Amino acid sequence: MHTEEHSVPAAAAGTWTLGDLPVRRIGLGAMRLPQTGAAFDPAAAPRDRDQALHVLRRAVELGVNHIDTAAFYFSATRSANELINRALSPYRDDLVVVTKVGPGRDPSGSWTAHAATPAELRGQVEENLRQLGRDHLDVVNLRILGDAPIAERFGALAELRQQGLIRHLGLSNIRAHHLDEAEAIAPVVCVQNLFGLGATTPEQEALLRTCGERGVAFVPFYSIAGSGRERGGGLPEHDSLRELAQSRGVSTAQLRIAWTLHQGPHVLAIPGTGDPAHLDANVAAAGLRLSPPELAVLESAHRAGAR
Query: What's the confidence (pLDDT) of residue 236?
Result: 61
298: how many CB neighbours lie within 10 A of its CB? 23
- What does 250-288 look like in DSSP terms, one character per residue? S-HHHHHHHHHHHT-TTB-B--B-S-HHHHHHHHHGGG-
Give helix 292-303 / helix 239-248 axis angle, nearest 10°. 150
pLDDT above 70: percentage of residues in the chain:
93
* Catalytic positions: 73
**pTM of the shown model:** 0.92
Report how far residue 90's alpha carbon sits from residue 230's, in angstroms, rounded to the nearest whole number: 31
Average pLDDT of the chain is 91
Query: What's the confidence (pLDDT) of residue 200?
Result: 85
86 pLDDT more than 60: yes
User: What phi-psi label fits residue 201: left (phi over 0), alpha (psi between -120 and 50 degrees) or beta?
Assistant: beta
Q: Shortest CA distance to 219 belongs to which of 241, 188, 183? A: 188
Query: What's the confidence (pLDDT) of residue 233?
Result: 52
Query: What's the confidence (pLDDT) of residue 70?
Result: 96
55-67 pLDDT per residue, tens: 999 999 999 999 9
Q: Are strands 15-18 and 21-24 parallel, antiparallel or unpaired?
A: antiparallel
C-alpha separations of 60 from 37, 98, 143 in Å: 24, 15, 26
Amino acid identity, residue 205?
Answer: E
Neighbouring residues of 130: CB distance < 8 A, sequence distance ≥ 6: none
The pair phi, psi for residue 126, each rounded to 5°, is -65, -35
Residue with more model confidence, 124 or 113:
124
Query: What's the confidence (pLDDT) of residue 108?
Result: 81
The pair phi, psi for residue 255, each rounded to 5°, is -65, -40
Contact status, residue 274 vs residue 55, Cβ threshold 8 Å:
yes
Query: What's the confidence (pLDDT) of residue 225?
Result: 56
**What is the DSSP-derived secondary structure letter of residue 113?**
S
Query: What's the confidence (pLDDT) of residue 65?
Result: 98
81: how many CB neighbours lie within 10 A of its CB? 26
Query: What's the confidence (pLDDT) of residue 88?
Result: 98
227 pLDDT more than 70: no
115-162 pLDDT per residue, tens: 889 999 999 999 999 999 999 999 999 999 888 789 999 999 999 999
C-alpha separations of 279 from 57, 284, 298 in Å: 11, 8, 23
Contact status, residue 242 vs residue 235, Cβ threshold 8 Å:
no
Query: What's the confidence (pLDDT) of residue 7?
Result: 63
270 pLDDT more than 50: yes
Give the chain's domains with CATH numbers.
5-303 (3.20.20.100)
pLDDT above 90: percentage of residues in the chain:
75
pLDDT band at 220 (very low <50, low <70, confident <90, very high): very high
Query: What's the confidence (pLDDT) of residue 64?
Result: 98
Query: What's the confidence (pLDDT) of residue 172?
Result: 96
List the single range of 65-69, 167-171, 219-223 with lowest mean pLDDT. Answer: 219-223
4 pLDDT more than 60: no
Report how far residue 146's alpha carbon sits from residue 178's, in angstroms, rounded to the nearest whole number: 11
232-257 pLDDT per residue, tens: 455 567 788 899 999 999 999 999 99
Query: What's the confidence (pLDDT) of residue 163?
Result: 98
Report how far residue 67's alpha carbon sits from residue 59's, in angstroms, rounded to the nearest whole number: 9
pLDDT band at 35 (very low <50, low <70, confident <90, very high): very high
1 pLDDT more than 70: no
The pair phi, psi for residue 151, each rounded to 5°, is -55, -45
